[in-house]
Structure 1
Amino acid sequence: MKKAERIEKIKAYAAGQFAEDATGHDYEHMKRVAHWAASIAREEEGDPFMCEAAGWLHDVGDRKLTKNPEQALKDRDAFLLSLSFTEKEIEELDASIRDVSFSKGRVPVTRTGKIVQDADRLDAVGAIGIARTFAYGGAHGQSLYSPDGVKDSFSHFEEKLLKLASLMNTETGKREARKRHSFMVQFLEEMRNDIHITDEGVQHHDK
């Protein structure tokens, strides 16, 4: 089976896995990560095919997205075998995807993994990162902002998103992340101005 045909089947598989997601981890997220992974690979001497495949599949088995991660990973591997991926290729994909998540606190050991981690992080910063943050928060019952920072989406920027530009692995990823980081900082400044209300509440002024 040709690589292009395998990618098309992987796209369809991703659509089946994530089409109904409302947390910012939907099919369009997978598409953007796959696009960036392949693009970075071409710039950074990676394997565009393996990086794109890993980009499409990087959230399969994510514990925050599925009730049975182990079964999801088994199903993924069986699917890849049906596409004539070798055991070695499946092991490489698994190793590349395993440590992509920010919550793991690790850098993937493979070149493909480093590239896919950058691609995933690019989709967590900038305008799209802002939109996904509030989509995820809304889907999980979080407020936009609370003064004490408890269970709100706004605190996620300080906890994670503002750190990502300094954690990129590739030069291509670093360049793009810097641009997106700047936009995000500007947005946060505007949002802080919009939500700043004193404890005394709104001041009423006579004309």
Structure 2
Amino acid sequence: MNEMLTMAMPKGRIFEEALELLRQAGYSLPQEFEDSRKLIIDLEDEKLRFMLAKPMDVATYVEQGVADIGIAGKDVLLEEEPDVYELLDLHISHCYLAVAGVLGSAINEAAPKIATKYPNVASHYFREQGEQVEIIKLNGSIELAPLIGLAERIVDIVSTGQTLKENGLVEFERIAEVTSRLIANRASYRLKEQRISEMVERLSKIINK
């Protein structure tokens, strides 16, 4: 039980919500934790090592084994399809993936252009709908694409819908609900099963209250 457990955490809002969840589950995390600029933080008392990463990279760190466990959005897991165990839905950072665009805008019936940072999710979704589309991969400001004629539709994460509204876009279809999940490296789960299972149990009690 004294071995260090390495946990990859996404920076930003998910990080803050996840820390609060861990605190509620009884983990002793210092209040100044959120303000640290360090990318690796060791908490000797809890035998936990936190690695702070971009949300899209967390699953890769866990899959490659440099982190034993991690917290990743379902959107990342759907897009990257990493070879990891998905242990628990943490029910935090609620949002969803949706298709959006300019209301009433013309669309190329043969092969509409879809801008997104989720090319695999978008391709899979439109294939299921029996639609042939051209996917354009972007890394940010996806809402700009239909406004400048780069694409007719976008596939992106929607939280409140305010960003779409402010840019004159409307939601057409909802693809998938998204929350943050606790994931584990397959080898780590076998080697550190007791530590990981304890965390799952403690978090589950808080989530299911």
With normalisation by structure 1, the TM-score equals 0.28
Structure number with higher strand proportion? 2
Structure number with higher helix proportion? 1
With normalisation by structure 2, the TM-score equals 0.28
